[in-house]
A and B are shown apart, each in its own frame.
Chain A
Amino acid sequence: MHHSRAAAARALALAALCVPLLAQDAAQPDAQASPASAVQPVSSAPHAELLTRAKALGAGATWIPYGRSRQGRELFALRIAGAAGKADELPAILVVANVDGTQPWTSALALQHAEQLVARAAEPTVSALLDTTCIYVVPCANPDAHERRFAAVQHEREATGTGVDNDRDGRSGEDPASDVNGDGRITQLRVRDPRGEWIADPLDERALVKADKTKGERGVWRVWTEGRDLDRDERVAEDEPLDACVNRNFPAEWKELAPESGAFPTDEPETLALCEFVLQRPQIALVVTYGAFDNLVDKPKSVAADALQKRVPQAGVVEADAVLLAEYGKRYAELTGVKHKGRGGDAGSWQTWAYAHRGLWSLAINPWDIPLDTPEKAAEAKTEPKTETKSEEGAAAPAKPEKDKKDKREPSEDVKRLRWIDANSEETWRFVPWSAFEHPELGPCEIGGFAPFARNEPPAARSAELAAAQFEFLLTLGADLPRVRIEEFTAKPLGGDLHELRARVVNPSRLPLQNASALRTEAVRPARLDLELGAGASLVAGERLHLIRALDGSGGRFEARWLVRAASLAELRLKLSTQHAGSDARVAELAR
Chain B
Amino acid sequence: MNTLLLSLALLSAQAAPATPAPDKSFSGLAAGAAPRVEIAWNRLYDYDEIHAHLDRLVARYPQFLSMQVIGHSVENREMRVYTLTNPATGAHDTKPAMWVDGNIHGNEVQGGEAVVYVAWYLLENYGSVPRVTELVDGATFYLCPMLNPDGRASWFRDAHNASSSRSGRQPFDDDGDGLYDEDGPDDLDGDGSITQMRKYTPGVGNLRLNPDDPRLMDPVPPNERGIRGDWTMLGSEGFDNDGDGRNNEDAVGGYDMNRAWPSGWQPEWIQGGAGPYPLYWPETRCVARFWIAHPNIAGVQSYHNAGGMILRGPGYEAFGEYPREDVAVYDELGRDGEAMLPYYRYMIIWKDLYSVFGGSVTYAYESLGVISFTNELWNTDQMFGDHAAQNSGRGANHKFDDRLLMGAGFTPWRKYNHPLYGEVEIGGFKKDVGRVPPSFLIEEMTHRNALFAIRHAETMPKVAIVSTVVSDLGGGLRAIDVEFRNERIIPTRTARAAQKGIGKPDLFTLEGAGVEVLAGGFRTDRFRPERLDFAEREPASLRSERGIPGRGEVRVRWIVRGRGEATVRWQGEKARTASAPVKLP
Contact = CB atoms under 8 A, between A and B. Distances in A.
A12 B501 CA distance: 55
Given A309-B318, A312-B318, A545-B244, A525 B543 contact: no
B176 A266 contact: no
A519 to B, nearest CB: 10
Contacts of B504: 165, 170
A40 B565 CA distance: 60
B277 A545 contact: no
Nearest to A172: B504
Interface string B478-521: 00000000000000000000001110110100000000000000
A265 B507 CA distance: 30
Interface string B253-281: 00000000011111111100000111100
Contact of A256 (B263, B292, B317): B263
Contacts of B78: none
A526 B244 CA distance: 14
Contacts of A313: 266, 270
A165 B264 CA distance: 23
Contacts of A234: 537
Interface in B302-336: 316-318
Nearest to B355: A311
A311 B177 contact: no
Contacts of A543: 245
Interface string A307-332: 01111110000000000000000000
Most chain B CB inside 10 Å of its own CB: which residue of A310, A313, A521, A579: A310
Nearest to B175: A547
B243 interface: yes
B176 A168 contact: no
A263 B363 CA distance: 12
B317 A251 contact: no
B283 interface: no
B288 interface: yes
B276 A279 contact: yes
Contact of B266 (A232, A266, A312, A528): A312
Nearest to B244: A545
A275 interface: yes
B178 interface: yes
A522 interface: yes
Contact of A525 (B177, B263, B266): B177
B316 to A, nearest CB: 6
B381 interface: no
Interface string A353-392: 0000110000000000000000000000000000000000
B367 interface: yes
Interface string B115-131: 00000000000000000
A310 B317 contact: yes
A74 B184 CA distance: 41
A207 B316 CA distance: 46
Given A265-B262, A545-B243, A526 B543 contact: no
B366 A547 contact: no
A279 B268 CA distance: 15
Nearest to A171: B504
B401 interface: no
Contacts of A525: 173, 176-178
Chain A binding surface SS class: loop
A257 B504 CA distance: 14
B140 to A, nearest CB: 22
Contacts of A263: 292
B545 interface: yes
Interface residues of A, number: 40
B178 A577 contact: yes
Interface in A540-592: 543-545, 547, 549, 577, 579
Interface residues of B, number: 39
Contact of A547 (B176, B263, B545): B176
A410 interface: no
A520 interface: yes
A445 interface: no
B501 A526 contact: no
A308 B355 CA distance: 14
A520 B266 CA distance: 13
Contact of B543 (A169, A310, A579): A169
Contacts of B266: 312-313
Interface in B428-466: none
Interface in A142-192: 164-165, 168-170
A523 interface: yes
A543 B262 CA distance: 41
A168 B500 contact: no
Most chain A CB inside 10 Å of its own CB: which residue of B173, B243, B269, B543: B269
A168 B547 CA distance: 13
B537 A233 contact: yes
B176 A265 contact: no
A264 interface: yes
A164 B279 CA distance: 21
B277 A168 contact: no
Nearest to B262: A264
A169 B316 CA distance: 33
A547 B537 contact: no
A586 B201 CA distance: 42
Interface string A264-285: 1110000000010001000000
B573 to A, nearest CB: 10
A311 B317 contact: yes
Contacts of A528: 177-178
Interface in B55-84: none
Contacts of B545: 168
B533 to A, nearest CB: 15
Given A264-B278, A312-B318, A522-B176, A357 B267 contact: yes
A233 B244 CA distance: 68
Most chain A CB inside 10 Å of its own CB: which residue of B244, B268, B317, B500: B244
A358 B275 CA distance: 11
Given A165-B504, A257-B500, A279-B276, A547 B268 contact: no
A522 B173 CA distance: 11
A122 B190 CA distance: 62
Given A309-B318, A311-B316, A545-B245, A170 B268 contact: no
A500 B461 CA distance: 77
Nearest to A165: B504
Interface string B363-400: 00011000000000000000000000000000000000
Nearest to A279: B276
Contacts of A579: 178
Interface of A: 164-165, 168-170, 232-234, 251, 254, 256-257, 263-266, 275, 279, 308-313, 357-358, 520-523, 525-526, 528, 543-545, 547, 549, 577, 579
7 contacts: A165-B501, A254-B262, A256-B262, A256-B263, A264-B288, A357-B277, A526-B177
8 A-B pairs closest in CB distance: A264-B262, A310-B318, A525-B176, A310-B317, A312-B318, A521-B269, A251-B277, A257-B500
Given A256-B264, A257-B500, 16 more contacts: A164-B501, A165-B501, A168-B505, A254-B262, A254-B265, A256-B367, A264-B279, A265-B262, A312-B270, A313-B266, A522-B176, A544-B243, A545-B177, A545-B243, A547-B176, A579-B178
